Amino acid sequence: MSKTTARTALLDLLSGVIAIATVVGSSIAWHAIGFDFRGIFALTAAAYFLAGIVRGSARAAGLVWQTIRVSVGGFLGIGVLIINDGLHLLALLTAPVLTAIALSAAGILVRRLWRSDRRSSVMLGALSLITAAVVVLAAVPWLPSYSAFEATHRPLPSFALSADNGPIPSETLKGHVVVLAFWASWCLPCLEELPELQRAYMRYQKDPNVVFLAVDTGWAGETPEKGKRRLTQRHLDIPVAFDAGSAAKSLGVDGLPTLFLVDRNGNLRFVHHAYDRSEHLELALAREIEKLRNETGEK
C-alpha cells in the first residue's frame, strides 16, 4: 500500500469516527436528541452524508471500500449504545449502522458526480436526504416499540418490595394486571420515562384490576428518601415502592429503566427495556395492558 493510499484510508476512517463522535456527543449534550431515536437517526444520516461528501473527492479506492471505511465509525456507535442499554435493543441498534453505510455511499457519490454531472449529483443528494427524512418520520417511531417490548411467559418470581404502608410480597399481586417500572433517582432516562408512566397510571387509576408500581431500585446509593424527593420535585404521584435488591435480581434487571407487565394469573408477559421518546410509551403500554385485561381464564 502506497503512502497516498494509506493516508486516504486513514482520513476515511477518521471522518467516520468524527461523524459518530458528533452523534454521540450531541446525544449526551442535548436530551432532545439522546432520548429520541428520531433525533439520533436524523443526526447520523446528516453526519455520514457530510462525511461522504468530504471524502468523496479521494479516488484512491473503489466506492465499496471507501464507503466501508467511512461508515465503520457507525459500529463504534453501536458499541456505545450496547454499553448503555445492553443487547436487548440490538435489532434497533443496527438501524444507525445501515444509515451510516447508505448515507456515506450517497455522500461519496454526490461528491464524485459533482464535476461531471452536477444535475445528477444534486438530484441524488436531494433524493437521499428526502428518503432519510421520510424514514425518520414514518418508520423510526415504530422501531423502538418493536425492539423494546420483549414477549415472555413465565411465573413471577417470589420477592418483596417495601412501601409506606408495609411490605408488598409478589404473591399479593396475583389477580391484577401489574406494571412494575424499575427506576432510580439518578437515572436520566428513568426521569424522562416517569411522566409517561404517570399518564398511563392516570388512565387506569380508578380500575382496581390494574396496579402500577414505580419500583425505586436500591442501586448506587439509592434510598427511598431520594426517590420520593425526586417524584415530589417532578410533581408525580404514581404509586412507589422500594427494592433493596431482591426483586431486581430475581427478575433479571440489568439496566434502567426496565418495565415488566404481569398478567392476572401472576405470569410475566412483557419486558420493556430502556426508554425512547419517539416510541410514545404511554400509548404502547396502554395497548399491552388492554390485551392483558381482556384475557380470561387460567393460563
Task: Provide the pairing of β-strand 177-183 with 210-217.
Answer: parallel
| 164: three-class secondary structure by DSSP | coil
Q: What does R_g of the chain's alpha carbons equal in angstroms?
A: 23
When comparing pLDDT for 163 and 91, which is higher? 163
- Residue 57 above 70 pLDDT? yes
Contacts of 42 (CB under 8 A, 6+ apart): 132, 133, 136
Residue type, 100: A
State the pTM of this model.
Answer: 0.81
Nearest residue to 181 via CA among 95, 242, 114: 242
Rounded average pLDDT over 35-63: 86
At residue 81, the pLDDT reads: 60
Tell me the per-residue pLDDT of 92-117, one tens digit each, with 9 for 90 and over.
Answer: 667 788 889 999 999 999 999 998 89
Residue with cell 456515506: 104
With bands split at pLDDT 50, 70 and 90, how would you rate the model's confidence at 83?
low
Nearest residue to 270 via CA among 200, 181, 174, 201: 181
Residue with cell 458499541: 79
Nearest residue to 259 via CA among 250, 267, 268: 268
At residue 196, the pLDDT reads: 95
